[in-house]
Amino acid sequence: MPFPKGFLWGGAVAAHQLEGGWKEGGKGISVADVMTVGGPGKPREITDGVLPGKVYPNHDAIDFYHRYKEDIALLAEMGFKCFRTSIAWTRIFPNGDETEPNEEGLKFYDDLFDTMHAYGMEPVITLSHFEMPYHLVTEYGGWRNRKLVDFFVRFAVTVFKRYKDKVKYWMTFNEINNQRDVDTPFTAFTNSGVLYQPGEDRHEVLYQVAHHEFLASAKAVIEGHKINPDFQIGCMMAMSPVYPETCKPMDQIAALKEMDKTFYFADVQCRGHYPSYILKEWENKGYHIKMEPDDLAVLEQGCVDYFALSYYMSFVRAYDEQTDSFKEVPNPFVKASDWGWQIDPVGLRYMLDVLAERYELPMMIVENGIGLHEQPDETGLVQDDERINYFAAHIAEMKKAIELDGVTLMGYCPWGPIDLVSASTGEMEKRYGFIYVDKNNKGEGTLSRKPKKSFYWYKKVIASNGEDL
């Protein structure tokens, strides 16, 4: 039996991608509320506040805010042992800089967690998942500003205290390493509420921003353990292995350097200090990252308890001799989804093994899945064999990582068990769910929920503790 007893089979979502109710219960405007719908080849627009005539898909999303009882009941029918969601910061501190929390927001998550527990479902909670208060962007410049550390810690401590007997598993920042890509506005804005300004060195800004987030995360870990020593507080990384294109020595360096952009985030959060390759880069580029005297000690003390990761795809890098630079190239050995995400189940085993060897921490896969274009057939059923095959192949590799390679895995939460708003494109029609939601990219539909074929398949997987794929 590769999967231990008590293995956390479940699914994962984020508040802004499914709740809707963007102005209800005293909620403030978040960064997700000023992002329009995009599509393949059409990036989401980040608007200057909420503008008339634009479509903002997160405002209503799939109305989980009002329908969570019905939705949790459906997830329970699949046998979910856990459910990962985030607490919308803006429901608790609508502007982010208040001193007192919003009771109505706290009450909402009390009810949500109680509903989960009624079905024996363990909440797995992200503190910041692409949904920080927009006020912190306009008034403070997002995480560029060190004041955000205290605002975040106040938010974290508030919810830690409130839910100390209801939530055991926490994560601080979702996919904190997404912002390694400084070329698109999306990552800096969703991760950190940062809009790069013309002429500034984006990497230097990124390192300052991330330093504030590392501090906030470490302080949250330290404070969280005081509130409940049983808390398990993790980091959360988007992990995509990067392979060298060939066995040419410089291709190895190309792949390694790309992986380091991600490892840097994990190294600080898991090992408690900056790795030497980053310190050298700062020195070589003349970067000055502002720190206060105690910061490094805080990082050292605030190491995470476990490693949470999302896994969707892998990449390939090559060294380009002509330009003496590194570049991304497609992988001819794997297929890609309609959105160009390269499907690679073996990459999951590879990634888990590398992380286990590097950090020696228990791990939780808190996202994995495939976005598909889907239509119900004439009987109303979505026949999503492609999704079933995707998951079966990934779970089989997970099993090998545990059984053959000795990886410690706490749980598995496929992304978007119920169709929801895509983070990168804002589409409803990039569907991940075991449950179909009747809503399209224009926002039309009845919002009715219906299990897809994969719903019954995943139920069987959970019931057999991963044996029956």
Q: For residue 74, give the nearest of 419, 368, 447, 450 by alpha carbon.
A: 450
Q: Does 126 sit near ligand P53 (CB under 6 A)?
A: no
Q: Does 175 sit near ligand P53 (CB under 6 A)?
A: yes
Single out the residue of 422, 437, 458, 461 in contact with ligand P53 (rule: CB under 6 A). 422
Please give the structure tokens belonging to residue 167: 């939530």
The answer to whether the Cα torsion of 53, 58, 64, 66 is positive or negative is: negative
Q: Does 125 sit near ligand P53 (CB under 6 A)?
A: no
Q: Which is nearer to ligand P53, 19 or 295 (CB)?
A: 19
Site string (226-255) toward ligand P53, x via CB under 6 A: ------------x-----------------
Q: Does 188 sit near ligand P53 (CB under 6 A)?
A: no
- Shortest Å distance, C-beta 134 to ligand P53: 18
Q: Does 62 sit near ligand P53 (CB under 6 A)?
A: no
- Shortest Å distance, C-beta 133 to ligand P53: 18
Stretch near ligand P53 under the rule CB under 6 A, chosen from 34-42, 46-54, 105-113, 421-429:
421-429
Q: Within 272-408, where are the H helices?
A: 276-285, 295-301, 345-359, 385-403
CA distance 303 to 217: 9
Q: Which is nearer to ligand P53, 181 or 467 (CB)?
A: 181
SS3 436: strand
User: In what side-by-side order are the strands of the sheet with 315-320?
Assistant: 242-244, 315-320, 325-329
In 10 A of CB 325, how many CB atoms? Answer: 10
> Residue 417 gets which letter from DSSP?
S
- Shortest Å distance, C-beta 362 to ligand P53: 20
Q: For residue 178, give the nearest of 107, 129, 251, 233 by alpha carbon.
A: 129
Q: Does 265 sit near ligand P53 (CB under 6 A)?
A: no
Single out the residue of 264, 415, 436, 458 in contact with ligand P53 (rule: CB under 6 A). 415
Q: Does 423 sit near ligand P53 (CB under 6 A)?
A: yes
Catalytic annotation, residues: 175, 367
The answer to whether the Cα torsion of 106, 112, 117, 118 is positive or negative is: positive
Q: Does 424 sit near ligand P53 (CB under 6 A)?
A: yes
CA distance 261 to 258: 5
Q: Does 58 sit near ligand P53 (CB under 6 A)?
A: no
- Shortest Å distance, C-beta 127 to ligand P53: 13
Matching residue, tokens 């889907």: 374
Q: Which is nearer to ligand P53, 143 or 415 (CB)?
A: 415
Burial 49-84 (b: 16+ CB within 10 A, else e): eeeeeeebbbbbbbbbbebbeebbebbbebbbbbbb
Determine which helix (DSSP H) or strand (DSSP E) holds 307, and give its type and residue range. strand 306-311
Identify the bridge partners of residue 449 per DSSP, sorted by sequence position: 437
- Shortest Å distance, C-beta 179 to ligand P53: 11
Q: Which is nearer to ligand P53, 102 or 192 (CB)?
A: 192
* Number of residue whose CB is nearest ligand P53: 424
Q: Does 312 sit near ligand P53 (CB under 6 A)?
A: yes
- Shortest Å distance, C-beta 21 to ligand P53: 18
Backbone angles phi, psi at 96, to 5 degrees: 95, -25
Q: Does 435 sit near ligand P53 (CB under 6 A)?
A: no
Chain positions contacting ligand P53, by CB under 6 A:
14, 17, 130, 174-175, 178, 238, 310, 312, 367, 371, 415, 422-425, 430
